[in-house]
C-alpha cells in the first residue's frame, strides 16, 4: 500500500501531478531517509522539513524563515541541495534524502563537519546544518572549489552570527583534505 502510494507519487512527479490528488487526510508514504526506508502517515500539506522534524524526529534540519529565503532547512535529494521547507514530503517520492544526521559514518565525521569545527565555522549553530549540507553537495560536484565557488554554493544561506568567512575557509580546507 505504502509502496503503491510512493510509486504513484514518484510517477506523478515526472508525469501529471493532477492525477495524484490526495488528502486532506493523512496518506502513507515511504521516504528514503539517510539510507533507511521510513514508512509513515503524513498529511499531504506537510512539508519535508515538518516531516523530518516531526514524525521522523530528525531535528537537526532547522526551520528559520519557512519560505525558502534562508536555506537553513537544506537537505540533499539524490545529492542535490533543496530547501526542505519549500517541498511537500509527498512529492519526494523515491529520491534519497540526506539530512545532517546522515553525514557522519559512525563516530567519523564527514570532512566538511570536521573542518567546520576546526575553523570555527559555526557560532550559534542554527544555520550550520543547512550550510554544511550545501558545502557537502558542492564538494561532491566540485572537488576542488575556489573561494568564489563556495560563496556561490552558500549564497542562498543566511547567517546572522557572521560565519561566512569561516565557512569558506573550512570548506576550502575540507576540499584540500579530501584530495589528500
Partner 1 sequence: MIMAKQKALRTESFPFGIASVGLGRVERQIPADEPPALAPNSELTVIGQPAPRHDGREKVTGAVRFTADISLPGLLHARVLRSPLPHARVRSIDVSAAARHPGVRAILPIASPDDPQRALLRYVGVPVAAVAATSIAAAEAALRKILVDYQALDFVVEMDLARKATAPLVYTSAEMAPGGDSSGYPAPANLPLRGNVRGPSVSRRGDVTKGFDDADVVVETEYRTQVQTHCCLEPHGIVADWRADGLTVYISTQYTTGVRHELAEAFGLPLNRVRVVVHAMGGGFGSKSTLGDYGRFAVELSRRTQAPVRLMLDREEEQMDSGNRPATWQRLRIGAKRDGALCAISLLSYGTAGVALGAGVGFNAEALYNCPNFEGAQHDVFINAGPGCAMRAPGNTPGAFGLEQAIDELAERLAMDPLALRERIDPSPVRREERRIGAARIGWQRRHLPGADPGPVKRGLGMAQSLWMSNVQIDSSCEVRVLRDGSVEVLSSVQDIGTGTGTVLAQTVAEVLGLRASDITVRIGDTEFPPGPPSYGSRATASITPPARTAAWQVLQSLLREAALALNAAPEDLVAREGMIFVADDRSRGMSFREAAARLRTDRISAVASRSDDYPGFARRMGDAALARQTLGGVQFAEVAVDTETGIARVERVVAVQDCGRPMNPAQLESQVHGGIIMGLSYALFEERLLDQHTGRMVNADLEHYKLAGPCETPAIDVMILENYQGNSATDAYGIAEPANIATAAAIANAVYNAIGVRLRSLPMTPAAILGALGKIPRQRS
Residues engaged in binding partner 1 (CB under 8 A): 43, 45, 53, 57-70, 72, 99-101, 103-104, 109, 113-114, 116-120, 122-129, 132, 150-152, 154-168
Q: How many CB atoms lie within 10 A of CB 41?
A: 11
Element (H, E) at 147: helix 147-153
Nearer to partner 1 (CB atom), residue 38 or residue 151: 151
133 with 164: CB under 8 angstroms? no
Nearer to partner 1 (CB atom), residue 12 or residue 90: 90
Smallest distance, partner 1 to C-beta of residue 179, A: 21
Smallest distance, partner 1 to C-beta of residue 28, A: 19
Smallest distance, partner 1 to C-beta of residue 35, A: 16
* Residue partners of 165: CB distance under 8 A and separation at least 6: none
Smallest distance, partner 1 to C-beta of residue 103, A: 7
Query: Among 96, 74, 92, which residue's Cα sits nearest to residue 83?
Result: 74
Amino acid at each position: 500500500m505504502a509502496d503503491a502510494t510512493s510509486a504513484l507519487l514518484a510517477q506523478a512527479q515526472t508525469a501529471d501531478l493532477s492525477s495524484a490528488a490526495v488528502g486532506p487526510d493523512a496518506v502513507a508514504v515511504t521516504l528514503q531517509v539517510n539510507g533507511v526506508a521510513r514508512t509513515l502517515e503524513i498529511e499531504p500539506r506537510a512539508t519535508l522539513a515538518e516531516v523530518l522534524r516531526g514524525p521522523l524526529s530528525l531535528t537537526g534540519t532547522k526551520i528559520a524563515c519557512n519560505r525558502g529565503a534562508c536555506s537553513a532547512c537544506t537537505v540533499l535529494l539524490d545529492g542535490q541541495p533543496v530547501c526542505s521547507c519549500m517541498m511537500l514530503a509527498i512529492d519526494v517520492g523515491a529520491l534519497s534524502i540526506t539530512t545532517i544526521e546522515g553525514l557522519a559514518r559512525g563516530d567519523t565525521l564527514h570532512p566538511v563537519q570536521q573542518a567546520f569545527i576546526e575553523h570555527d565555522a559555526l557560532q550559534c549553530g542554527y544555520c550550520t546544518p543547512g550550510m554544511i549540507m550545501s558545502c557537502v553537495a558542492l564538494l561532491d560536484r566540485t572537488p576542488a572549489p575556489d573561494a568564489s565557488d563556495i560563496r556561490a554554493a552558500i549564497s542562498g544561506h543566511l547567517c546572522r552570527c557572521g560565519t561566512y568567512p569561516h565557512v569558506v575557509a573550512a570548506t576550502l580546507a575540507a576540499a584540500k583534505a579530501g584530495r589528500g
